[in-house]
Amino acid sequence: MGAAEVLEHSEHISHAGGHGHGGGDDKLGTRVGITMACLGVLLAFCSAKVGGERTELVKVLVEQQHAHAKYQAQDIKHRSAINALRQIHSDIVDPAAVTALDADLSKLEAETAPAAPPVAPAGSAAPVAGAPAPAGTGAAPVAAAPAPKADTTSVKAARLVAHQILGALSPNRTDAGLVADTADRYAAEAAAANDWVESFSPAIDAHVEAQEQYEMAQLFAEIGIVVASVALLMKKKVAWFVALALGLASIVFVGKTYARTSHEVHEAEEKIEHTGKHYRDLRTAGKTTVEDEALSTEIHTWSGHARKAPAAGHGEGDKGGHDKAAPEKGSHGEGKEKGGHDKEEKPAH
């Protein structure tokens, strides 16, 4: 029921009830009519506030979905970076395996080392390997020293090659550190985006509650108009007092709701702005443009593929050039052909 309809309804009722006798009835009818008009204005105000709260609620919900999309994007990026880190971690050579390899090579090197020659007693000449024992000593001939089982140089070469292979299989430490930094940055940005999403909840709750309270105030105003109509028809002050009470209750609901909602929404908007700015600052500070450009340059240099220039505005320039060239070509061509035909037709005439 709109304000215009309420005023028209009250006018009809006042005309219908104005044919009675007595000054008291005329004053009551006037007062009831004024009450109905005030209730109609209050009803229109409540209806407008209900519509405004619904609009603000839809707006806040749309903004929250936008922030939630940012959170999902950063969370997916973080999970992708973590998966890349796990792949890098799986490619890192286990230090225990390197230690075991060094121990095996050291053991093999010790086994292949040549034996030391026997040491002669002091004051005697050292026996020569393969020489016969002196006569009358009864000693056995000196045995020749065993030849080395293998060359220790090959073991050292194997150690060097093994360490080189293990070093080549290990990931690049600088790149691995950058991937770890990227994962940490995405985690921080996802947390900031989540805080941004959560900051919308107080505003949503405030708008929902305000909408319900304004609808309650609107209901009181509508009932008050009906009761005031009955009071005007029946010429009863009691019904008029009930209508006044309903109107007063509607005003109380409107005032309390407006005061509480405006404060809650103001605080929620400040928090939304703060968390959104924090997320945007993290995104701006976390840009790795210099590192990305260096990586792209290195890859282009390694591949021998020349980097292409940015194509921004190239299509518009071509389009403008074609548009400009077409009229010139058509105008010159037509003028040329027309001029040629004119020159060719003149001798015929």
Q: Which residues of 30-42 are buried (b: 16+ CB within 10 A; e: fewer)?
A: ebbbebbbbbbeb
CA dihedral 58→63→69→74, nearest 10 degrees, is -160
- How crowded is residue 227: how many other Cβ atoms within 10 Å of its Cβ? 25
- Give the pTM: 0.61
3-state secondary structure of 137: coil
* pLDDT at position 316: 45
Using 50, 70 and 90 to split pLDDT, how confident is the model at 20?
A: very low
Residues 6+ apart with CB under 8 A from 162: 101, 105
Using 50, 70 and 90 to split pLDDT, how confident is the model at 73?
A: very high
Q: How far is CA 213 from the centre of its chain?
A: 35
Could you state, in order of their start, the residue ranges of all structural domains in the chain?
1-92+173-298, 93-114+149-170
% of the chain beyond a pLDDT of 70: 65
* pLDDT at position 310: 67
Among 1, 42, 33, which Cα is nearest to 221's?
42
* pLDDT at position 162: 72
Among 1, 7, 5, 2, which Cα is nearest to 38's?
7
Instruction: Give me the architecture of the 1-92+173-298 domain, per CATH.
Output: Up-down Bundle (1.20)
Supply 175's token pair.
């790149």
Using 50, 70 and 90 to split pLDDT, how confident is the model at 179?
A: confident
pLDDT in tens, 190-214: 999 999 999 999 999 999 999 999 9
